[in-house]
Every structure is written in C-alpha cells, then in structure tokens.
Structure 1
C-alpha cells in the first residue's frame, strides 16, 4: 500500500477492526512496519500506525526480505550455514559417497528453499558450490569438476543439482505461478503492472518491481514448457497468446502481417460447436492444420495453461520442479557404461570407484605427477615393472589381470583377450547368447575387481600391507556373495 498518512490511518483501522472481529490484537511491542526506499518521513508514518519502524532487509523464516535485489552480504548467513555444516562433518571420516549424500540432502535442500524464496546472487551460489566441492574432495585435488558431478547419472554425473540451474528453475516456477493466477498475489501483480496489457508482449519497465522483472525475463523459457488447453477459447487472445505449439499468431505470421483483423479477438471466434473453424478467417491450410491440433476439451471450466515440457510425461499437466530443472540444465550425451557403474546390487563404494574409472579420474601415479604432486616412484606397486596409469592398472598389469582372468575363467565360462576395461565391457555386452543375468553378474564381478585392485594398490602405498592374489580373490568372492541376489 502507499505509505501516506491516510494510508497508515486506514491500515490502523483495518487492524483494529480485525482485532474486534477475531479477538487477535496487534502487539505494538512485537510489531514493526517496513517502508521502501521511496518513502519519506518514515518515523512519522510508523508513529501514525503505532508500531516501531523496521529496517530492510529483514529475515523471515531465515531468508532476507527486501524491496531490492538481495546482495551477496545479505545472503552471508546461507554461506555460513554451509560452512558450519561442512566443518562439523569433516571429522566424521565419511566416504566419498557419504559426502555426496550429505551435500545432496542437507546443503542443497536448504539452498533450494532459499532459491525458491528470493533471487540469491550468483556470487553467493558460487561460494556455496565451492564449499561443497572442497568438502567432497577433502580439500585436496578435485579429480572431477563440480559441473561434471552435477550431471544426471546417465550423463556421467552423480545426480547432484547445479545450484545455478536451480536458480533458473526457481525463476521459471515463479513465472508459472503468476501465469496460473488464482491467488491474491498474482491478481495484485497483474493489476499493478500489466494493467490490461498482454503478459506475453508486455515490455519491461524500470518502474516494475524486482520480482515482476524477473517473471517477465523468464517468459522465453516458460513458453517452451507449456501448452494451451481450450474449452471455449474466450480466455485466449487469438493474436498475442502463444497457443499454437508455443507460438502466437503474431510470431507465426510475422510482424509485417497486417493483424488488424485479429487484434482484440479471442479464440472463441474460430470455434463453432466445439470444433475449430480456422477457414472463416482465411488461414492457410498448413496453419489451419496446426490450429486443429490444439485440444478442445469440456473437462476444464475455462481455457488453461498446462505444464508440458518437451519429453516429459510426468504429472499430467501439473507443475513439477524436477521437470522444470531438467528444462534449464545443460544436457549431455548418455554414457555407455551406465549399467556398469550404477548396476543393481553393486555396493556404493564400488559404484564410485567404477564411476571414477569410467571418467578416467582415478588418481593414479601418472596423474598425480601431472598435478605436480611429488611421487617417489612412478612404477605400479603391484607388478613393479611399468609406470602406474589407469590403462596399466586396469588391466595391463599382469597381477591385476590375473585376478580378473581367474574370476572370468571360474564364473563366466571363459576369458576374453581384452585387457582394457572398456574392451572387457564391450566383450560382456557382445555375449548376446548369454542370459541377461549373466551380463549383470559379469559387470558386478568386473566392478568388484576394479575396487579391490585399487584398494590393494593403495594399501601397499599408504599402509605397507600386501595381500596375495589368492587373498584378493577371496575378498572379491565374499563381496560378490553379499551383493548377489
């Protein structure tokens, strides 16, 4: 409301009347009133209302609220929260998988709440992502980038969400809520800023609020994820609304087209008896065909926008934040080794070692040297003949190869000639005559072999302990028995 003296008196009257009707009285000692920057004589206005003047930003449910964009310093409490959590977890001796899960379930969840409440600055988001990445890698070498970790599993990530993309998705959600209407907030925003103008073509004005500018900037992405359902067409602007496969008639016919004949009309003008009649307005046959593909239904009370992002089948028109996030995040090709990494029954520790192997990010001695880490001897500690690398360890090394070959001979009915793990995976996939359960067991044994070979290498380096191949095979068999159905 406008912060005039008259407005303050009217607000005080409303609060008094509310107290008389409900019995809930305003406690002036616990209440504050907040003004935007354009208001003058704030103290006098607060005195008229009978409460203390507050200063913005103010925290509500832990989130800073302000009439302006939130600044990095306003969101420092979110950064501090992430830092405190991480410091408390550091001493817990968590595994790589455990650290991933804590970031996903705690820090990302709190950040999601903030991002859906206010526009968190990118600088703040980068700080939080940096804290998470440092925690995941124990402050050491980041073997896999944060951007890679934030991909879906099928695209080579671990399923974390990029907070930058979450921020974009939250903006789309806000625009969707406004477009849907039905709330006091959306009605007020519409009357305040649109004032009868069409939402899809309204230009951004400097006098618009931060939130409404944010809504309008998200229109191009929003229109990719929605479609129009028609009942009678009376609520849909024939010329300006993007009701034809996400496009408006203005966009399809072009601004050079004389649209005078269509302006001010609704889609009701080309619907007769519940059927499209585009020929009455001399549309081309092709455009008429596209118009007829727009659904007319009597299952809804009025024309409505439905949530229908490309490739999504969930929710039957209802908004889903997951599909909204998928709409704005970067997309990558799916990896062929998905079943090998995330196969059913595979222990978490083995999934993550397989994941690092597939990406080529295991910190073998050759990679440590490239990172500038001092390595006394670059040779493989298993065979002590060749320099250690991912290709050598899996499975050019004769010790590692003997472990895999013995398993393959005992349980898989033979040994292929391949000594590279990708070629071994290809060999498993090419055994079409085998049952699907055989391929799953083969991938499981391969992943178990990778983990135990890597573990043995590290035990010899850091603990000075050695397990003979027979003992390693026994350990693999014990793990496989636990993981097998």
Structure 2
C-alpha cells in the first residue's frame, strides 16, 4: 500500500487528478485500512479518470487489478450529467450514505436506532454464543467488562449514541449477567446503576455507558482545543476552526451533527458557567450542570478518556467493606456471592416468602428461626459453629451477636497485606460461598455434608490460593497459620 500511496500523492502534484476541495489544504488524497481504500478527488470526470489511471499503473506494478463492479463512489453537489458520465466511463456504482466503514456508520446527521442496529446485533450474537455455557456470575461479569463493553466503547469513542441504544446495551448486559442469556432479567437482585459503581463504592466496577460516551465526547473536544492528536482534528482545524477561537467562533452551516453537538456543549457551558437562567427545564438544567463539570474537566490535567470519566461520573462515598472482598488474591466467584450477601440480595427464604414464592421460611440448617441473611450467616447455631472453628484456625477466640458487628469487625480489623489478613478475607469469602452452596444442596438435592467436610472445603480454598506463595515462615504467627490451614 505504500507504493499506491506514493502514486496517488505524486499524481496530484503532477495534475493527473485534483484534490477534493475539503482536503486540498490538508494534502489528503486517500485513507486505507487493510484491504479497504477510500480515495478523495474533485467531483469532475477528468479527476475520476485520473484516479483510475493511477490504479491501472498500480496494477502494472503489483498485478492487483481494480474490479469496477465492486467499487462505489459518493458525491455531493454534482450535476446529473456528470454523474452519468462517471458511471459510463468507469463502471463504478453510485453509493449513498449511510454506509458502514470499519464497523461504524458514516453519517452526517444524528445517529438513529437503525444506524446502530449492527452494534446491537454484534452484542446479541455474542450473547447467543455464550448462552449455552454454564458460567458463574464472575465469568459473566468479566465477559461484560472485556468483550461487550469493548464493542460499545469502539462506538462511544467516535459517535454520540442515542439514549435508547445505550439503554438497550445495558439491558442486554444486565440480562446476560443475571440470566446468562438474552432473556428478560426478571427479579434482578441489584440494579444496573448500582452494579456500574466502582468496587470501592459498592458496585462491580462496570463503566456506565452514558457517562463514558459523554467523557469520550469531551475528550474529542479536548483534542480540538489542543489542535493535535489525529487526522480528524487536523481536518476540523483547517476547514472549520481555522484561526478562530473555539469558544467564541460562530457555528458553520455545513457542520456534521456530531460537530454541532460539540459546539452546542461549548456554547451552553460558557453561557452558564457563572450563572444559570431560572426559566430552564429540569432536563436542560441537568445538562447545563454537566456542561459546567465538562468545562472544569477540560481545564484540568485530565488527558485521557478514563481520567475525564473519573472527573464527571457521580461521586458516591466509599463502602467500608470493599477491601474485604476485593483484594489481590480474591477468588471472583466467592467475592461476588459475598458482594450479594453484604447487599442482602441473595434469595434467602424470607425474601422468597415475602414474594409468596414459598410457604415455609424455616432455616434449612437448624429449623430454629426464619432464614434471613443475618440468621443464615451469623445467628444460626450450625453455621456459627463453623465460622467459630475457622476463626480458631487463625488464632481468634470470638463470637458475634449480630451480622453487622461481624461485618464491621471483618472489614476493619485486618486490612493490610499480612498473611493473617489474607487468610481471614479468603476464609470469610470462602465460608459465605460454601454455606450458600450447602444450603442450596440440601434444598434442591436433599444431600448434605458434615461440619468437618465444610470446614475442610474452606481450608482447601485457602490452601489452593496460598500454596507456593512467598511467605515469611520465620514469623511464628505465619508458621502457625500455614500449619493450621495446610498451606505448603
């Protein structure tokens, strides 16, 4: 492609074909990616024939021949006679916007739901591929973060997604997380808004697409202000901004929709930075408040989309327990069950009874109380004895009168990187998972394990994670922990 690039660039300097009027000052004749090629020239028959002459020359060098029937040309403000002449002389087909290039639609107007259908189809196809696999919540959340959101992010960085499309994407992600497929997520235990909080704020660290799309738009604005960063920025600077002040320039009549959106953001921000009119609707006031934040971010040291997103996303207070379940050696599937447990969103019998799904809400372990979160994981004689035994393995002789006191102690007593801190967090998350698993085993299969087997299962979890890790065994506490927990 370097040879073809040189041929096209040299052809314009020799007058074989003329630059497209919008690209002359930029000196741009073409864009190429893999086997895709876009060539820009003046809308006259002579220029189009000049381009085909260059392509024929390239064929002589490389043996790669242009297939006219597979090529399309796009025009604006060209007479019907000229169009007919180009078609008859070249055999090219006349195309019309919108078209898809590199996976995104090329449009000059506001993006519609129809334009975004390929994005929704891409995500839906992935869900259909994964729906046959029996994945735990931890696996699903990682696929949402790394695959589905990467697909959406590719669009967010270049286009302003319609709100209906953002809601549809979040709906698909929520369905997959809770149901493992594209089926209605009835009875979702935690709202998607809560899930999209950072882990330190009580969520699962999934980015809110709407705020991320907004941050991407601000990042584009920042690039325009900096006057560098991409060919797109250079083209905007040369053709529209020129030597004008970005904050005070008038809006050209021939701008694309996304550029108009960026300029409207600028105008509203500068208009209300010092005062806010009293006669605005609630929605517009909300937008204006966000624009003020955007102005502050643009003037800050934030240099990439992630930093901008961190600057504009809602600020919630940190939860005291996040380090209890999210730490360097955590096991994802145990941590997510513990996360639902802390939020009291596991389908315990008291919740099911409240929704009239079951009639008997007695604890499956002790039959001496209603099965609530607090009872099952703290006050039940059976599970409390198991947790007491696990604490003894770590050298703690204590019991707890309430779930809240146990959570507070576990969250605040050991937050460091010492071996005992890691063992306590691993054992607590493992205890939660094994107890919930044992509860479901007894209800749905009628099978059960002994107390000793359950304790050994938790010990095995801790041992597998910490085996062969670098541990200071000269420390007497560490040596005792390794011996009690079977860490080798």
Corresponding residue for 1:479? 461
Question: Offset of 1:414 from its aligned partner?
Answer: 0.9
TM-score by length of 1: 0.72
Corresponding residue for 1:329? 313
Corresponding residue for 1:114? 155
User: Map of 1:362-377 to 2, 5 A cutoff?
Assistant: 362-370=346-354, 372=355, 374-377=357-360
- What CA deviation, in whole Å up to 9, does each residue of 1:63-107 have, x standing for no partner? 221121221012112112211211221111011011111111211
Question: Offset of 1:118 from its aligned partner?
Answer: 2.6
Secondary structure of 1:197's aligned partner: coil
Corresponding residue for 2:237? 190
| Alignment root-mean-square deviation, CA | 3.4
Whole-Å separation in 2 of the counterparts to 1:391 and 1:125: 37
Relative distance call for 1:373 and 1:79 in structure 2 (3 A) is farther
User: Map of 1:40-79 to 2, 5 A cutoff?
Assistant: 41=79, 44-45=82-83, 47-48=85-86, 50=90, 51-79=92-120
Contact 1:175–1:215 at 8 Å: present in 2 too?
Answer: yes
Q: Which stretch has the larger CA shift, 323-332 or 27-36?
A: 27-36
State yes or no: 1:445 paired with 2:418: no
Question: Offset of 1:194 from its aligned partner?
Answer: 3.0
Q: Identify unmatched segments of 5+ residues in structure 2.
A: 1-19, 23-40, 180-184, 275-296, 470-488
Relative distance call for 1:310 and 1:31 in structure 2 (3 A) is same
Contact 2:323–2:415 at 8 Å: present in 1 too?
Answer: no
Asked which structure has the greater RCO (Cα within 8 Å, sep 6+), the reply is 1
User: Map of 1:242-281 to 2, 5 A cutoff?
Assistant: none
Whole-Å separation in 2 of the counterparts to 1:350 and 1:388: 21
Corresponding residue for 1:145? 191
Secondary structure of 1:199's aligned partner: coil
Secondary structure of 1:408's aligned partner: helix
Match of 1:387 among 363, 366, 370: 370
Relative distance call for 1:116 and 1:431 in structure 2 (3 A) is closer
Corresponding residue for 1:125? 166
Question: Offset of 1:210 from its aligned partner?
Answer: 1.2
Corresponding residue for 1:277? none
User: Map of 1:2-401 to 2, 5 A cutoff?
Assistant: 7-9=43-45, 11-12=47-48, 15=51, 18-19=54-55, 28-35=68-75, 39=77, 41=79, 44-45=82-83, 47-48=85-86, 50=90, 51-138=92-179, 139-182=185-228, 184-204=231-251, 207-219=254-266, 319-370=303-354, 372=355, 374-401=357-384
Relative distance call for 1:198 and 1:437 in structure 2 (3 A) is same
Whole-Å separation in 2 of the counterparts to 1:433 and 1:211: 47
Question: Offset of 1:135 from its aligned partner?
Answer: 1.0
TM-score by length of 2: 0.72
Relative distance call for 1:219 and 1:453 in structure 2 (3 A) is same
Contact 2:430–2:461 at 8 Å: present in 1 too?
Answer: yes
Q: Identify unmatched segments of 5+ residues in structure 1.
A: 224-246, 253-306, 313-318
Secondary structure of 2:100's aligned partner: strand
